[in-house]
Amino acid sequence: MDTHELQRRFATLTTAHLADACVRAKVPVHCAPGPMRPLVQGARVAGRVLPARHVGSVDIFLEAFEHAEPGDVLVVDNGGRIDEACVGDLAALEAQLAGVQGIVIWGLHRDTADIQAIGLPVFSQGSLSTGPLRLDPRPADALTAANVGPWTVSTADLVFGDEDGVLFAPADRAAELLTLAEGIRDTERGQADRIRAGVSLRSQVGFDGYLLARQQNPELTFRDHLRAVGGAIEE
């Protein structure tokens, strides 16, 4: 799936829809750690992962940009460090010039006001004034893989980001996951419209029937019931 189509379809979805789609498709849900948020409210990204393991110098990003394809998202692995910022305004400007559509940082950023003015979507764990005061050995896979929390991602993965956070998914499952997410979105929107019209969610999903059935079969879960009635509120 090309970047334009990926972005077009994600424009009407959320990372929550995609997370639920992963559950339904039995694809492991790989979310970035909870504090990961966009610098600008409403910022969104959807594209191929462009990995870079930061070791103390900006040159790793410049080298990554040499291999970037339009619409890639730079995913920076700084080990979740909170004692230094690893991305600032110059790296964001260079990313924008290279055709990169956003930056996801497992770590911190700085130059917040300047990055916000640049307009490139940047997701990070927070901000700090100081940059790195170190230069560590560079691992062999510095430009082929990045860790974000417990997950390792590469160019075989896609990254999606919105105000709920960041989620990674295998690129070869993109079409399936987007289709499932669209179905979940439509079901949930219909349910929300009916609640606003005065029809409770409990009645929509036959909650009283679920309670009765659970008396007969204590192992019956609410998720099993939702799948049977076409509900979508949990996946």
Q: Is 8 annotated as a binding residue?
A: no
Q: At what angle do helices 15-25 and 174-196 cross, to 10 degrees?
A: 120
Spatial separation of the C-alpha atoms in residues 160 and 55, rounded to whole Å: 25
Q: Is 185 annotated as a binding residue?
A: no
**Residues 120 and 94: beta-carbon distance below 8 Å:** no
Q: How far separated are the first and last CA of the chain, in Å rounded? A: 24
Question: Taking Cα atoms as reference points, which of 11, 13, 72, 24 lies closest to residue 173?
Answer: 24
Q: Is 206 annotated as a binding residue?
A: no
Q: Is 91 annotated as a binding residue?
A: yes
Q: Is 110 annotated as a binding residue?
A: yes
Spatial separation of the C-alpha atoms in residues 147 and 151, rounded to whole Å: 6
Spatial separation of the C-alpha atoms in residues 187 and 208, rounded to whole Å: 20
Spatial separation of the C-alpha atoms in residues 77 and 159, rounded to whole Å: 14
Counts of helices then strands in the chain (DSSP H, E):
9, 12
Q: Is 89 annotated as a binding residue?
A: yes
Binding-site positions for substrate: 88-91, 110
Binding-site positions: 88-91, 110-111
Binding-site positions for Mg(2+): 111
